[in-house]
Amino acid sequence: MFGLTSQERSGASIVAGTAIGASMLSLPFISGVAGFGPAVLMLVCCYLFAIATLLLVLEMALYSKDSDANIISMAHMHLGKIGEYTTWFCFLFLLYIISTSYISGGGELLQSLLEPAIALDTYSCMVIFTVVFGLVAFRGVSLLDQMNQILLLAMMASYFGLIGTMGPYTKFEYLIGGKPIFLISSIPISIAAFASHFVVPSLRKNFSTDTKSLQKMLWIGSTIPLVIYLIYQYLIVALLPFEGANGLFAVAKSGSPLSALQKTLQQDGASMIPLLMNIFANCAILTSFLGVVLALSDFLEDGLDMQRYAYPKLVSAGLTLGPPLLISLVVPKESSGFLLALDLSGLLVTFLFGILPVIMVWRARYVEALTTSYRLPGGKVALVVIFILSTIAIAAVLGNTFGMLPSPRI
């Protein structure tokens, strides 16, 4: 990226890689069915909301003079013991559930890759996946950054391959279809598509303490996903008619829209698209997993003061990777409890990085009268607007979880 330092490029790639997950492939079937125009508007609004909350989390982090401080230290600093314990529970629950979903997906990925040569069960592959990529994460931020850069290159190569192979099949007239009523139920996943907030303290700890550099990382790292999502949204919506047996609505209504899409494309002779989608999804799983592991390990090291242990890295690795691996091995990812936990993780993202930063920054600014090198513009009005929007997002998550919002799957 022209004009950026190596640290800024690394930080921006961590932000982008963490935000872009395999769930991006399902985005057009959740928001695109509302119509291309409304879906684009929703993505742009969620991008702006993500930027505002990312910069708010940055301001929250900068009130602490310790560059190693994580969200636990910040909660203790501004909200006392009750705020600290609440943050502990929410943050651990969120990152353990996300890590569990990535370990389950990564294990299945590894099994499919090894299947032609070695017959291993899914559980063994989950363990191998966790150990191998866990070692990458704990060998140091330099190796993690190099691996993240390689995976991002592979992800972008497959992405441009998708553009090249899908392009000839797209038709502009397909963009006029859609049912805007479905837009409300797409709010949670559209917000989650830009979720990389938990790496903000890690960026400050591992890459730079310079405020302007950190802002660049957040702006660029969030803008890259927006561009990728908009183009991908266009490709899928313009690829299929809205109505019909193989239309966008029918594919979205199926239990597994990606599988239904791949079957439809193979019938039309587009056999390369499923392969490129799989490569993209697998790289997205890995980049997001590395970002989550980095954030979770830094969170635990800060909250538990790991330096007092004889082998801090080993203890940190065990606490970061052990619980999600155990959950992956014991709890089926199709179980109702795990699916409910995944749904509620969207609620926790909004609470931790929408509601909580507003409360902490409000206290820091207007109660404790603290100063910092960066403040989110807009004063009290901006904080109130973010709080209201976060509340709406939480209501949408609950509405989706309990089937109260119009959705193509209902």
d(CA 16, CA 309): 33
Cα 222 versus chain centre, distance: 11
224 sits in the region (left: phi over 0; alpha: psi -120 to 50; else beta) called alpha
Amino acid identity at 359 = I
Domain boundaries, the chain: 6-401
Kindly report the length of the chain: 410
d(CA 409, CA 267): 24
Superfamily of domain 6-401: Amino acid/polyamine transporter I (1.20.1740.10)
Number of H helices, E strands in the chain: 16, 0
pLDDT tens per residue across all 410 residues of the chain: 557 888 999 999 999 998 987 678 778 888 889 999 999 999 999 999 999 999 999 999 999 888 888 888 899 899 999 988 998 888 888 888 888 888 888 888 788 777 777 878 888 989 998 988 877 777 777 788 888 889 989 999 999 998 888 888 889 999 988 899 999 888 888 888 898 998 999 899 888 889 999 999 999 999 999 999 999 999 989 988 898 877 888 888 876 777 777 777 666 656 677 778 888 888 888 888 888 888 888 888 777 776 666 677 778 888 889 999 998 888 776 666 655 666 677 788 889 999 999 999 999 999 999 999 999 999 999 999 999 999 999 999 889 878 888 887 66
